[in-house]
Amino acid sequence: MIKSMTGFGRFEDINEKRKLLVEIKSVNHKYCDITIKTPKCLNCYEAQIRNLLKKYIRRGKIDVYIYYENYDAGNIKLRYNKVLAGEYVDILRQIASDFNIESNISVLSVSKFSDVITMEDNSEVDEDTWSDIENAIICALKSYDEAKKVEGNNLYNDIMSKLNHLKELVELIEIRSPQIVEEYRKKLYDKVNELLDDNKIDEAVLATEITVFADKICVDEETVRLKSHIDTMISTFDIQDEGIGRKLDFIAQEMNREANTTLSKANDITVSNYAIELKTEIEKIREQIQNIE
């Protein structure tokens, strides 16, 4: 089953001792770009967290947020920055002096300034706590993975519908191509016949001209390759291995190349319209493929 690169997973675990929350969200990205935000007490586990994430994620820009709160009040310390508080007081007094206004500085007002009083969590993570955190990450990853599968299934259905339409367009081009040559032969014959005014027409010369024209507009190779690329893309979806997005993107590029050549060779408004529609549908498929992991 294919997976989308867009997904969201969340897991929360609360008991009488602590609160633990893990959130994972991702959007499209060419490579695997993981950003992890954790409390300071989990910094030493970042490598382990990253390795755990990579078991579930191949591509995408992934943001991981881990919140851990220990309810033991003894781990929480307040810090007072005396130097910074003094600078705030000096600046407030200077403002009062510069504008000749009353200085009504209070302890409460100064304490509200950023970083004058800060809270530090000195919680330490033991093996049991880390085991709980690891389990929470895995649970969030499973939720996240399911979300990607649901979105991936929607992408699959949409792309398959477009691929079937491409097949129909290729078949219409194959049906129309011989008709173009026959119409050209008839027009050429009528024109020459009109110019020669019932004089004998050189069938060999006409045949050569028609052959040259037919060769010029022939898109047999392009339609054969297009059908092959469509079948290859369909079979690629059946591959159980994950991470097929890049391969699908390459196939779509090749499909677009054949559609461009078909359009450039088209000497008929009907075939031109089919080729333009081919390019439009292929571009839509490429856009959807960008979402696949």
3-class DSSP state of 32: strand
Q: Which of 9, 293, 57 is nearest to 155 (CA)?
A: 293
Residue extents of the structural domains in the chain: 7-73+124-147, 74-121, 150-289
pTM of the model: 0.68
Answer whether CATH 3.30.230 is correct for domain 7-73+124-147. Answer: yes
Beta strands 32-37 and 60-70, pairing class: parallel
User: Which run of H or E residues covers position 73?
Assistant: none
16 vs 11: CA distance, rounded Å: 17
Structural contact between residues 17 and 71, judged by C-beta atoms closer than 8 angstroms: yes
Nearest by Cα to 226 from 177, 293, 158, 156: 177
pLDDT digits (tens, 9 = 90+) for 217-276: 577 788 889 999 999 999 988 875 556 888 899 999 999 999 998 887 777 788 889 999
Contacts of 172 (CB under 8 A, 6+ apart): 274
Residue range 131-152: mean pLDDT, rounded: 93
CA-based angle 160:164:166, to the nearest 5? 115
Q: What's the pLDDT tens digit per position in 156-211? A: 999 999 999 999 999 998 888 777 666 666 665 666 565 555 556 556 656 666 56
CA 76/CA 132 separation, integer angstroms: 21
Q: In what order do the strands lie in the sheet with 7-14?
A: 7-14, 18-27, 60-70, 32-37
Confidence of residue 2 (pLDDT cuts 50, 70, 90): confident
H or E element that contains 26: strand 18-27
Give the per-residue pLDDT at 15: 86
Rounded-to-integer distance, Cα 4 and Cα 293, Å: 5
Which residues 6+ apart lie within 8 Å of 125 measured at CB?
41, 42, 45, 68, 133
